[in-house]
Amino acid sequence: MAPKSRAENRAEQTRAILDRARAQLAEVGPAALSVRQIARDVGMVSSAVYRYFPSRDELLTALIIETYDELGDAVEAAESSVADRADLAARFAAICHAIRDWARANPHEYALLYGSPVPGYVAPDDTVTPAIRVSGAFLALAQAAEHAGVSTITTTPVSPAEKAALVPIQEFLDGPVDAAHLVRWLMAWSTVFGHTSLELFGHMHRGILDYDAHFRQVSGQLAADLGLTS
Amino acid sequence: MAPKSRAENRAEQTRAILDRARAQLAEVGPAALSVRQIARDVGMVSSAVYRYFPSRDELLTALIIETYDELGDAVEAAESSVADRADLAARFAAICHAIRDWARANPHEYALLYGSPVPGYVAPDDTVTPAIRVSGAFLALAQAAEHAGVSTITTTPVSPAEKAALVPIQEFLDGPVDAAHLVRWLMAWSTVFGHTSLELFGHMHRGILDYDAHFRQVSGQLAADLGLTS
DNA sequence: CCAAAAGCAAGAGCACTGCTCTCGAATGTG
DNA sequence: CACATTCGAGAGCAGTGCTCTTGCTTTTGG
């Protein structure tokens, strides 16, 4: 048996805790996640876990980061798997469906990211980088559309206040995007997550029979609104 | 001192518990709501509360119902306060802003209704009637628009699967609404709640400076999409 | 090379939770 | 009046997050 160095051991234990925590998250959800249970699962006593994570919230934060990255991977993979890069509608549909598919496959994880924030919890800066990957996918596509000369269906003038409100996003982008177009893309973002949350949290339960068909319809109409459909 | 009958006393205690529970909900949120703390606040011992509510979840369910009704009241009041009943755009804006304003004023309550469902919790039938009041407001307006001959901006054909998926909603309505129009109204519903959740749960934090301006822009564009803007 | 320092697991313990059970006392009903 | 039901209080169980102390092991510095 190769004796493990202290650093190696620490890395292994940290991973073991995180892995069990993720498994428990998927099983019982974030609210019921128990430090003591995780400790039992990895063969530790509960107080030992606090050597690796100072609190349950910090552990949850680590899970949030990992989970954002997992969703980010799924979305980016789906988007980049579209062979015809000029087919912006296909790339948009890939993003939309990747988000919803991932959410349906990982409901507790989705709830952790996009459900009610844990009380008194404020996202630390560590979480922001992975968190913006999925909105970044939308914005990157918005930029590609802008570059391709695509125009969204827009019938409402953009107020000066709104133009000012969007400054941080414009700065995030490489090149400027027409404010009216940007509004449409942000609306699509809200619609996709709104639909996913309403569906997953049971608010469509008595209204819509076929969630798949409805989401296909919605994302199709969104693509049309964004001017991506020929 | 007039001696209280058993039924009177029970009603009073039930209300006292509910009132304290709602106060605590607003203060610390649904996850941190404590039966024991409520008991202390109303001058009871914790086990006595279980004479009135069989479990914490049942108490939460009662709160959910009351809260749905409160939001329903707010939305319906805002909608019906629009003097010019023919101004569908104004009525739509009233609904949208009532939802978001209520959510911002009652973030914990909004999280209880539209955030992650409590683990293992499935909405009992008691909650569905108050729950559909707000979506009902959208649908009633959709019907009014249909009756007025308003056409939404729709550029995507409605698939047969989608038409079938919408049957429960069509049955809920008094008269038929064109499926393409209905899709738009459901999209607006998703967008409003999506925006509100994303805003309230902190996902727009680093992107948008002026939430009010942005939401005004979004709801304005939604009204245009619905054909309500002349 | 060996002593001091730091890292770590274990256990006990605190304050809290939801919930159950039993026990008297008050209230209702035949 | 007697019986039955309802209710509040208290004790207690099993669980939680978290802290502190106690030894042991690994790492580090003179």
Q: SS3 letters for chain B?
A: CCCCCHHHHHHHHHHHHHHHHHHHHHHHCCCCCCHHHHHHHCCCCHHHHCCCCCCHHHHHHHHHHHHHHHHHHHHHHHHHCCCCCCCHHHHHHHHHHHHHHHHHHCHHHHHHHHCCCCCCCCCCHHHHHHHHHHHHHHHHHHHHHHHCCCCCCCCCCCCHHHHHHCHHHHHHCCCCCCHHHHHHHHHHHHHHHHHHHHHHCCCCCCCCCCHHHHHHHHHHHHHHHCCCCC
Nearest by Cα to B201 from A186, A74, A119, A191: A119
Q: Is the CB of B63 under 7 A from strand C?
A: no
The string of pLDDT tens digits covering residues A196-212 is: 999 999 999 889 999 99
Distance (Å) from the C-alpha of residue A118 to the closest C-alpha of chain B? 8
CATH topology of domain B1-53: Arc Repressor Mutant, subunit A (1.10.10)
Kindly tell me if the per-residue pLDDT of B213 is higher than 70: yes
Which bases of chain C are contacted by protein, using any atom under 7 A from a CB?
Answer: 7-13, 16-22, 27-28
Closest nt to B56 (CA→C1')?
Answer: C18
The answer to whether the CB atoms of A31 and B195 lie below 8 A apart is no
Nearest by Cα to B25 from B77, B52, B65: B65
Q: How far is CA B11 from CA A51, B7, B38, in A?
A: 50, 6, 16
Per the rule left: phi > 0, alpha: psi between -120 and 50, beta: everything else, B2 is: beta
Q: Which two tokens stand for residue B146?
A: 């249909």
Kindly tell me if the per-residue pLDDT of A1 is higher than 50: no
Q: In the prediction, which pLDDT does B126 show? A: 82
Which bases of chain D are contacted by protein, using any atom under 7 A from a CB?
Answer: 6-12, 15-21, 26-27
Q: Is the CB of B10 under 7 A from strand C?
A: no
| Contact in structure between A133 and A76 (CB atoms under 8 Å) | yes
Q: Which two tokens stand for residue A144?
A: 């590609």
User: Which residues in chain A have their CB less than 8 angstroms from residue B194's CB?
Assistant: 189-195, 197-198
Question: Which of B32, B117, B197 shows the shortest C-beta gap to A119?
Answer: B32
Question: Which of B31, B153, B194 shows the shortest C-beta gap to A31?
Answer: B31
Mean predicted lDDT score pLDDT of chain A = 94
Indicate the domain borders of chain B: 1-53, 64-225
pLDDT mean over B138-149: 97
The string of pLDDT tens digits covering residues A38-88 is: 999 999 999 999 999 999 999 999 999 999 999 999 999 999 999 999 999
Distance (Å) from the C-alpha of residue A15 to the closest C-alpha of chain B? 26
The string of pLDDT tens digits covering residues B76-123 is: 999 999 999 999 999 999 999 999 999 999 999 999 999 998 544 566
Distance of CA B229 to the CA centre of its chain: 25
Helix, strand and coil percent figures for chain A, each rounded to 5: 70, 0, 30
Taking the Cβ of residue A208 and every Cβ of chain B, the question of whether any pair is shorter than 8 Å is answered with yes
pLDDT mean over B155-163: 96
Question: Which of A128, A165, A209 shows the shortest C-beta gap to B209?
Answer: A165
Contacts of residue A33, defined as CB under 8 A and 6 or more positions apart, other chains included, come to A21, A24, A25, A56, A59, A60
Give me the phi and psi of A59, to 5 degrees please: -65, -45
Farthest CA pair distance, chain B: 71
Taking the Cβ of residue A151 and every Cβ of chain B, the question of whether any pair is shorter than 8 Å is answered with no
Per the rule left: phi > 0, alpha: psi between -120 and 50, beta: everything else, B120 is: left
Position with higher pLDDT, B187 vs B2: B187
User: Which residues in chain A have their CB less than 8 angstroms from residue B192's CB?
Assistant: 194
* Residue A7 CA, nucleotide D29 C1', distance (Å): 19
Distance (Å) from the C-alpha of residue A24 to the closest C-alpha of chain B? 13
Task: Give the three-state DSSP class for A120.
Answer: coil
Task: Give the three-state DSSP class for A40.
Answer: helix
- Pairwise CA distance, residues A122 & A138, whole Å: 24
| Contact in structure between B136 and B49 (CB atoms under 8 Å) | no
pLDDT mean over B120-147: 88
| Contact in structure between B197 and A193 (CB atoms under 8 Å) | yes
Q: In the prediction, which pLDDT does B49 show? A: 98
CATH architecture classification, A68-225 = Orthogonal Bundle (1.10)
Q: In the prediction, which pLDDT does A2 show? A: 46
Task: Give the three-state DSSP class for A121.
Answer: coil
pLDDT mean over A207-221: 98
CATH topology of domain B64-225: Tetracycline Repressor; domain 2 (1.10.357)
Kindly tell me if the per-residue pLDDT of A113 is higher than 60: yes
The string of pLDDT tens digits covering residues B10-35 is: 999 999 999 999 999 999 999 999 99
Q: In the prediction, which pLDDT does B118 show? A: 57
Closest nt to B59 (CA→C1')?
Answer: C18
Q: Considering only alpha carbons, which residue of chain A is nearest residue B119?
A: A29
Q: In the prediction, which pLDDT does A55 show? A: 97
Taking the Cβ of residue A187 and every Cβ of chain B, the question of whether any pair is shorter than 8 Å is answered with yes
Kindly tell me if the per-residue pLDDT of A125 is higher than 90: no
Nearest by Cα to B103 from B186, B197, B210, B29: B197
Kindly tell me if the per-residue pLDDT of B1 is higher than 50: no
pLDDT mean over A141-168: 96
Say how many Å lie between the first and final Cα of chain B, rounded: 65
pLDDT mean over B129-144: 96
| pLDDT confidence band for A127 (50 / 70 / 90) | confident
Kindly tell me if the per-residue pLDDT of B74 is higher than 80: yes
Q: Is the CB of B55 under 7 A from strand C?
A: yes
The string of pLDDT tens digits covering residues A3-35 is: 568 888 999 999 999 999 999 999 999 999 999
Question: Which of A203, A207, A225 shows the shortest C-beta gap to B169?
Answer: A207
Q: In the prediction, which pLDDT does A121 show? A: 54
| Contact in structure between A158 and B217 (CB atoms under 8 Å) | yes
| pLDDT confidence band for A128 (50 / 70 / 90) | confident
Find residues 152-171 of chain B whose CB sits inside 8 Å of chain A: 153-156, 158-159, 161-162, 164-169
Taking the Cβ of residue A80 and every Cβ of chain B, the question of whether any pair is shorter than 8 Å is answered with no
| Contact in structure between B146 and B175 (CB atoms under 8 Å) | yes
